Amino acid sequence: MITASQLSGGINPSQTEEIPWKILVVDDEASIRRIVAFRLQQNGYQILTATNGVEALEMFNQTLPDLVIVDLMLPEMSGFELTEQIRKKSYVPLIILSAANDEQSIIRGLELGADDFIKKPFSPLELEIRIRGLLKRIGRVHSVEEQTQNQSTHVGQVITLEDVKIDIARRQVFRKGQRIHLTEKEFALLETLVKYAGEPMTHEHLLEEAWGFPVRTQSDVYIVRTHVSRLRSKLEDNPDEPTLIQTVRGIGYKLPKVG
């Protein structure tokens, strides 16, 4: 396990396929850090740990992890503030793992940019499954040159809906000619809605397609609803009266049929 005092630079694990995914675990409970670190290390992940929000933000800036797991009730800087600070500079996948699991906390955490919310006490196996679901969609770009080369080879995969253009291959979205920055899960959700454009999608189907796991609790439904709300705020003229991401009463959501 790597701690803040042991940091000495090094390359980003995403630079080579041989180096494992790097995950930052932020929790003030030593037992939680040990359990999570042990289980994830057994699965081949490189684990960094922090005990408070200030330490975690410093470590995040120094190491650029591939995924972050955040408790909400942290000393010095709350998990809410840490999530907000991370989202100001990065769209790295972020999971909140917390005992503060009332509806208000769940929704606030998701609105600040978390991709997922897992309640304590938790199943380590479920945490592993959700991490795999988030990381599976990222894909690794080894260099800026390779990214540019890859993007130049993909043409014609652009979907236009009203004033929104969605470039599936490049994972980019434009509205009225301006680039709209989406988190990984926001794009995954939009991509799923595009894939089934014209068809009503239930919360369960959207979660399975975009997150990679089935609905188990009410908080999973909040995850979908909050991400839809965030997408609407970025893509709709009037998010309260959406014309792009439409609500299908009693079922879920849908996009207008393409073409």
pLDDT tens per residue, range 85-111: 999 999 899 999 999 878 899 999 999
Tens of pLDDT along 181-236? Answer: 888 889 999 999 999 999 999 999 999 988 887 788 788 889 999 999 999 999 99
Of residues 3 and 170, more confidence is placed in 170
Amino acid (1-letter code) at residue 90: S
CA 62 to CA 153: how far, in whole Å? Answer: 33
Instruction: Determine the topology of domain 147-254 in CATH.
Output: Arc Repressor Mutant, subunit A (1.10.10)
Residue 62's alpha-carbon distances to 4, 8, 56, 59, in angstroms, are 10, 9, 10, 5
CATH 3.40.50.2300 domain residues, the chain: 4-136
Q: How far is CA 14 from CA 18, 47, 78, 246, in A?
A: 9, 14, 28, 37
Element (H, E) at 253: strand 252-254
Give the residue from 147, 128, 244, 141 showing the smallest Cα distance to 189: 244
pLDDT band (50, 70, 90) for residue 12: very low
CA terminus-to-terminus distance, the chain: 51
User: How far is the CA of 251 from the CAs of 122, 199, 248, 257, in angstroms?
Assistant: 29, 11, 6, 17
As annotated, the residues of the chain forming the CATH 1.10.10.10 domain(s) are: 147-254
The 10 Å Cβ neighbour count of residue 45 is 21
pLDDT at res. 30: 96
Mean pLDDT of 17-42: 92
* Whether 50 contacts 70, CB under 8 Å: no
- pTM (two decimals): 0.76
Cα–Cα distance measured from residue 93 to residue 183, given in angstroms and rounded to the nearest whole number = 8
* CATH 3.40.50.2300 is held by the domain 4-136: yes
Would you place residue 169 in the very low, low, confident or very high pLDDT band (cuts 50, 70, 90)? confident
Element (H, E) at 180: strand 178-180
Q: How far, in Å, are 84, 103, 181 from residue 147 at the CA level?
A: 27, 39, 17
Contact assessment for residue 1 and residue 47, using Cβ atoms and an 8 Å cutoff: yes
**Token pair listed for 245:** 């991401």
Would you say 135 and 114 are in contact if contact means Cβ atoms under 8 Å apart? no
Output the pLDDT for position 140.
42
pLDDT at 8 over 80: no
Helix, strand, coil percentages in the chain from 3-state DSSP, rounded to 5: 40, 20, 40
pLDDT score for 184? 83
DSSP state of 214: -
- Phi and psi at 200, nearest 5°, equal -65, 135
Instruction: Report the C-alpha gap between 71 and 94 in whole angstroms.
Output: 11
- The predicted pLDDT at position 259 comes to 63
Q: Positive or negative CA dihedral for 11, 115, 213, 70? A: positive
Confidence of residue 4 (pLDDT cuts 50, 70, 90): very low
The whole-number average pLDDT for the span 169-177 is 90
Could you tell me which residue, 221 or 58, shows the higher pLDDT?
Answer: 58
pLDDT per residue as tens digits for the range 102-157: 889 999 999 999 999 999 999 999 999 999 988 886 654 333 333 334 443 334 47
